[in-house]
Structure 1
Amino acid sequence: MTKDHIDKKRAQAAFNKASVSYEEAAVLQKHVLGEMFLRLKLLKINPEIILDLGCGPGNAGPDLKATYKPRDLIYLDFAYDMLKKAEQKNKHHFLKSFSNKTSQQFICADMEAIPLSEGSIDMIWSNLSLQWCNHLDQIFTQIGKILKHNGLFIFSTFGPSTLHELRASLASFSKHSHVNQFIDMHDIGDALVGCGFSDPVLDVDLYTLTYSTFKEIMYDLKHIGARNALEGRAKGMTGKGFLYQLEKSYETYRTDEKLPASYEVVYGHAWKVNKPLDESSVVRFYPKQ
């Protein structure tokens, strides 16, 4: 499964730059992290080795350590400055938790080329990072290889309704792609089964953040690193005239003196089971509440 290609170097540079401001702006990301832990509590698992895939500033680390006390916790991100933030945060937490014997590793790498051994991980956690991949099938295949038998993959990612207001506003006057493409929940489920995962379960939540001004929306997107990183993006079309047209178009969504920014978040988990797939493989979807 492929989508519009992301320029990884540009995305990497954006996240490195955003490492300083990410914590303040990442309100939704922190909420989704909490929702993932609520879903994780329903699953029976006692992982000794955990991989935080696309860890960002390492916000999941303290709770993963406190919940499971794993022997090894590995943080992987392609943005070096984000990874350094994760190291600073989790080393501080580690020093305060004398009873926690967890060994921590920090790896700067692209999740489309995970440098870990086959069958080495008990659980892979990924919070809102899969959308920065170009080939989801390739990612799922790699994840399946490095998971142990009965290993768990739990994740969240953005669905296609994400930032639909911004996408429509841009399309009203520009033919170029300016917003990253996101994959539908059903296609994600099919890809998991196709890559050998067992019992995938997926659900979706819709969130709307509200802002007083259009500039506040763009400020938050910039400061979490969510810049346009598509390879086919238009060059030289982000000047004052372009932004004026974009703001004017976006203003049509204003309601009760607020501008909305919508996000569709797909939550999912699946198991690595070393057995041939058959026609009984079923993906379970839960409807929106």
Structure 2
Amino acid sequence: MSSAAAHAGFVDRRQVARRFSRAAQDYPAGDFFAREVDRRMQERLDYVRVTPRRILDLGCSRGGSFAALSARYPQAELIGLDLSEAMLLAGQVRRPGWQRWLGLGQDGPSRIVADAAKLPLAARSTAVVWSNLLLHWLDDPIPALAEARRVLEVGGLLMFSTLGPDTLRELRTAFGDAQAHTQRFADMHDLGDMLVECGFADPVMDMEVITLTYDDFDAMLADLRAAGSSCAMRDRPRGLMGRARWAQVRAAYERLRVAGKLPATFEVIYGHAWKGEPKQTADGRAIIRLDGLKRR
């Protein structure tokens, strides 16, 4: 690989934006899986004590998490950030003109088009960073995790979900080649190590497997496209596959049929961690706190 290709990374960022922008208008018909994962993430908040003044939804798409977060934390300012402007616009509900003219009501959460690895927010300005199924679309999760920690206030919470290596294993098996047909997914333990590397405290990771079932292969592909979830790796096959090749893949997937259904496995990884007190200054000097020492 050339140095230029290495610098470009593994994930085609423009392709990610294009896929989700194309899916924006009809996304509610395709995001059922994201909404189910979001519901399970929301349940995990039942065991977390936090009263946030501001919540950042990182990779918010059309804002599917907004209603539940607003209901749980009605006092919090909610900000949605996404790479796809089309997604943000498609999910925006504007007040009628007469309400805006009279200054009544609200247009809902603020929405920002930005890169998760370059957040346009001040340091220590956010109490909760929430991210549902974003990290596997990034070339490297570490810059985004580091930025999340930067914008969190001390004692702030990062909570996220992403997909693990077993995701769409049946699809990779059916293609049976060395080319990329799905995203590259990080292991749960590697993500935990990344949190520690970025300076988070008390990381908690867990995982579950969700298996969707389909009557036919094309229905599964249609759901992936509707959710904007087609492969966006740089080394993905380019151009159209011929009929013979598609027939081979369909036949291989058919051999995986169980109880009359075609399975599609998703390994869902959940993580949360806290921003603790800094242990070093910006120039690397250690910070020693004296407030816990007893006076003699």
Shorter-chain-normalised TM-score: which range? 0.7 to 0.9
User: What is the CA–CA distance in structure 2 between the aligned matches of 1:219 and 1:271, rounded to whole Å?
Assistant: 38
Deviations 1:181-210 (A, max 9, x none): 100100000110111000011110100000
User: What is the CA–CA distance in structure 2 between the aligned matches of 1:208 and 1:136, rounded to whole Å?
Assistant: 25
C-alpha contact (below 8 Å) 1:156/1:268 kept by paired residues: yes
Gaps (5+ residues) in structure 2?
1-6, 100-104, 281-285, 287-296
Amino acid at match of 2:113: C
User: What is the CA–CA distance in structure 2 between the aligned matches of 1:71 and 1:207, rounded to whole Å?
Assistant: 32
User: What is the CA–CA distance in structure 1 between the aligned matches of 2:18 and 2:30, rounded to whole Å?
Assistant: 17
Task: Assess, with a 3 A threshold, how the Cα gap between structure 1 residues 237 and 4 changes in structure 2: closer, same or farther.
Answer: farther
Gaps (5+ residues) in structure 1?
279-289
Amino acid at match of 2:266: Y
TM-superposed CA distance for 1:84, in Å, is 1.2
Greater than 4 Å deviation, 4+ residue runs: 100-103
TM-superposed CA distance for 1:238, in Å, is 3.0
User: What is the CA–CA distance in structure 1 between the aligned matches of 2:87 and 2:40, rounded to whole Å?
Assistant: 22
Aligned to 2:206: 203
Aligned to 1:65: 70
Task: Assess, with a 3 A threshold, how the Cα gap between structure 1 residues 264 and 216 changes in structure 2: closer, same or farther.
Answer: same
TM-superposed CA distance for 1:169, in Å, is 1.4
* 1:151 correspondence with 2:156: yes
C-alpha contact (below 8 Å) 2:70/2:76 kept by paired residues: no
Deviations 1:232-286 (A, max 9, x none): 12222434333222111111110111100000000110000123399xxxxxxxx
C-alpha contact (below 8 Å) 1:198/1:270 kept by paired residues: yes
TM-superposed CA distance for 1:30, in Å, is 1.1
C-alpha contact (below 8 Å) 1:3/1:135 kept by paired residues: no
% identity of equivalent residues: 35
C-alpha contact (below 8 Å) 1:177/1:230 kept by paired residues: yes
Instruction: Pick the aligned partner of 2:253 from 245, 250, 255.
Output: 250
TM-superposed CA distance for 1:57, in Å, is 1.3
Task: Assess, with a 3 A threshold, how the Cα gap between structure 1 residues 241 and 79 changes in structure 2: closer, same or farther.
Answer: farther
Aligned to 1:108: 113
With normalisation by structure 2, the TM-score equals 0.85
**1:66-81 aligned within 5 A:** 66-81=71-86
Between stretches 17-26 and 248-257, larger displacement belongs to 17-26
Amino acid at match of 2:123: E
Q: Which structure has the bigger radius of gyration?
A: 2
Task: Assess, with a 3 A threshold, how the Cα gap between structure 1 residues 19 and 102 changes in structure 2: closer, same or farther.
Answer: closer
**1:109-258 aligned within 5 A:** 109-170=114-175, 172=176, 174-258=177-261
TM-superposed CA distance for 1:27, in Å, is 2.0
Aligned to 1:23: 28
C-alpha contact (below 8 Å) 1:122/1:147 kept by paired residues: yes
User: What is the CA–CA distance in structure 2 between the aligned matches of 1:72 and 1:26, rounded to whole Å?
Assistant: 25
TM-superposed CA distance for 1:130, in Å, is 1.2
RMSD: 2.4
TM-superposed CA distance for 1:140, in Å, is 1.1
Aligned to 2:279: 276
Between stretches 179-188 and 71-80, larger displacement belongs to 71-80
User: What is the CA–CA distance in structure 1 between the aligned matches of 2:251 and 2:110, rounded to whole Å?
Assistant: 47
Task: Assess, with a 3 A threshold, how the Cα gap between structure 1 residues 79 and 128 changes in structure 2: closer, same or farther.
Answer: same
Aligned to 1:287: none
Deviations 1:77-108 (A, max 9, x none): 111111112322x869xx9xxxx989721101
Aligned to 1:281: none
Aligned to 1:85: 90
Task: Assess, with a 3 A threshold, how the Cα gap between structure 1 residues 3 and 262 changes in structure 2: closer, same or farther.
Answer: farther
